[in-house]
Amino acid sequence: MLPHATRMHHACIIMYDVTRQESFDNIPRTIEAIKKDTQSTTDAFPLPAIIVGNKIDLIHQRQVSKEKGMALANEHNLTYMEMFLADGTNAQEIWTVIIRKVLDSRQKVSPQKKNRSKCSLI
């Protein structure tokens, strides 16, 4: 992750390849890097975010189960979803969830602190 990459963003989709255990194993480090980059002072994840397992069509090559993905997401109090990016399976649903999370988080911010900038995702 690039230094300070998350400070100007409003949401985060953390995606990994279900056929590569190594990509899944990197998620906790990614989460910690985002927390550090946003200068979060709590254990809660600082941005609306979801964890997404990709390449679910490659059933026989799968190394990370859906249950493992869900457990990791639950551990960090995040939403978990799966998709097949190449054909767009669940892509619209993922965007709907993350946008809803951004809108919900913005409603929780007091009117004095609302950032009127455009929404950006990483």
Q: List, in sequence order, every beta strand (DSSP E) within 40-114.
A: 49-54, 79-83
Distances (CA, A) of 33 to 6, 87, 90: 9, 30, 27
- Is residue 30 within 8 Å of residue 46, measured between CB atoms? no
Summarised one tens digit per residue, pLDDT across range 35-86 is 777 665 666 666 888 999 999 999 999 999 999 999 999 999 899 999 998 8
Among 7-21, 43-57, 68-82, 99-113, where is mean pLDDT lowest? 99-113
Specify the range with the lowest mean pLDDT, choosing from 10-24, 81-95, 103-117. 103-117
Q: Please report, in angstroms and rounded to a whole number, the separation of the first and last CA atoms in the chain.
A: 10
The closest of 93, 92, 116 to 106, measured between CA atoms, is 116
Does the model's pTM come out above 0.95? no
How far apart are alpha carbons 19 and 94 in whole angstroms?
20
> Quick one: pLDDT at residue 83?
93
- How much is the pLDDT for 114? 52
More confident residue, 9 or 104: 104
Specify whether domain 12-109 bears CATH 3.40.50.300.
yes
Domain ranges for the chain: 12-109
Mean pLDDT across 10-34: 92
CA geometry: angle at 15 spanning 59 and 4, to 5°?
A: 165
Closest residue by Cα to residue 19 from 78, 88, 86, 76: 86
User: Residue 85's closest CA among 2, 3, 38, 19?
Assistant: 19
Buried b (16+ CB within 10 A) or exposed e, 68-83: ebbebbeebebbbbbb
Average of per-residue pLDDT across 12-37: 91
